[in-house]
Amino acid sequence: EAQVTQNPRYLITVTGKKLTVTCSQNMNHEYMSWYRQDPGLGLRQIYYSMNVEVTDKGDVPEGYKVSRKEKRNFPLILESPSPNQTSLYFCASSLGANTGELFFGEGSRLTVL
Amino acid sequence: SQQGEEDPQALSIQEGENATMNCSYKTSINNLQWYRQNSGRGLVHLILIRSNEREKHSGRLRVTLDTSKKSSSLLITASRAADTASYFCATAHAGGTSYGKLTFGQGTILTVHP
């Protein structure tokens, strides 16, 4: 089944404790992206990747890192999480940038205390 | 204001009525897409309309695009209670340093009453 898988789905952590949210897709998609969703602000793009080893900042990249060492994986790294990074995070992928529909994961709800 | 802003923010209708949501954007686009999100779940792609298209249909969905006004509308005909969800438009930037960015609006919350 074609899917985007995120882990963990739920996480409560404390300020400053590094964490990684994994994202994996099984559709051989070139394009992958991370979004955060906050009430009243919609979805905002954090980082995106056009292909392996190619990543670019989205609209709200501060406090986040990403890597794209393999085509299928695009982890989101919070080196030193802060409470303002409490949010619902979505990973998504598509065949190519601007070429069609995004497939979304089910989301990762992160709380930073 | 942000690229891809939806209007209205919330819409409440009765089953069987039509629902119209609008989206405005600011910069040149390659395409505009509409997504649906059930509460707290991942977004699901509904329809994509390219910048050289004016109208597109998919089942009970009809999307129009007016690039001169930088706006799009999504019409859901004969709505059902199961259509209750948030609907987002997303714009794929046309090029330059923004190529690859897909910007979402804040969404319209649609409630369809049985």
* Percent share of chain A, pLDDT over 90: 85
Mean pLDDT of A82-105: 90
How far B68 CA lies from chain A's nearest CA (Å)?
20
Q: What is d(CA B92, CA A24) in angstroms, rounded to the nearest whole number? A: 23
Nearest CB neighbour to A48, from listed B40, B44, B100: B100
Interface list for chain B against chain A, based on CB atoms closer than 8 Å: 2, 30-31, 33, 35, 40-45, 48, 88, 90, 92-93, 99-107
With 50 as the cut, is the pLDDT of residue B2 above it? no
Tokens representing residue B91 in the block: 């714009």
How far A84 CA lies from chain B's nearest CA (Å)?
19
Are A98 and B107 an interchain contact pair (Cβ–Cβ within 8 Å)?
no
User: Which of the residue ranges A37-41, A80-84, B11-15, B82-86 would you say has the lowest mean pLDDT?
Assistant: A37-41
With 80 as the cut, is the pLDDT of residue A99 above it? no
Which residue of A3, A102, A104, A109 is the best one to mutate when testing the B interface, meaning the one whose CB has the most B CBs within 10 A?
A102
Tokens representing residue A58 in the block: 């989205």
Cβ distance A108 to A86 under 8 Å?
A: no
Contacting residues of A for B35, CB less than 8 Å apart: 102
Are B104 and A44 an interchain contact pair (Cβ–Cβ within 8 Å)?
yes
With 90 as the cut, is the pLDDT of residue B77 above it? yes
User: Which of the residue ranges A92-101, B12-21, B54-63 would you say has the lowest mean pLDDT?
Assistant: A92-101
pLDDT-derived band at B96 (thresholds 50, 70, 90) equals low
Residue-averaged pLDDT of chain B: 90
Mean pLDDT of A87-102: 87
Chain B's closest residue to A107, CA to CA, is B42
Q: In this predicted model, which residue has the larger pLDDT, B15 or B6?
A: B15
Chain B's closest residue to A89, CA to CA, is B42
Mean pLDDT of B46-56: 95
pLDDT of the residue at B5 = 79
With 70 as the cut, is the pLDDT of residue B98 above it? no
Contacting residues of A for B41, CB less than 8 Å apart: 106-107
The amino acid present at A104, given as its one-letter code, is F
Work out the end-to-end distance of chain A between its first and last CA atoms, rounded to an integer number of angstroms: 36
pLDDT-derived band at B3 (thresholds 50, 70, 90) equals low
With 60 as the cut, is the pLDDT of residue B76 above it? yes
Q: In this predicted model, which residue has the larger pLDDT, A67 or A96?
A: A67
Nearest CB neighbour to B48, from listed A4, A92, A100: A100
Q: What is d(CA A22, CA A68) in angstroms, rounded to the nearest whole number? A: 11
Please state, as a whole number, how many other Cβ atoms lie within 10 Å of the Cβ of residue B8: 12
Encode pLDDT of B21-43 as tens digits.
999 998 888 899 999 999 888 99
Cβ distance A48 to A31 under 8 Å?
A: yes
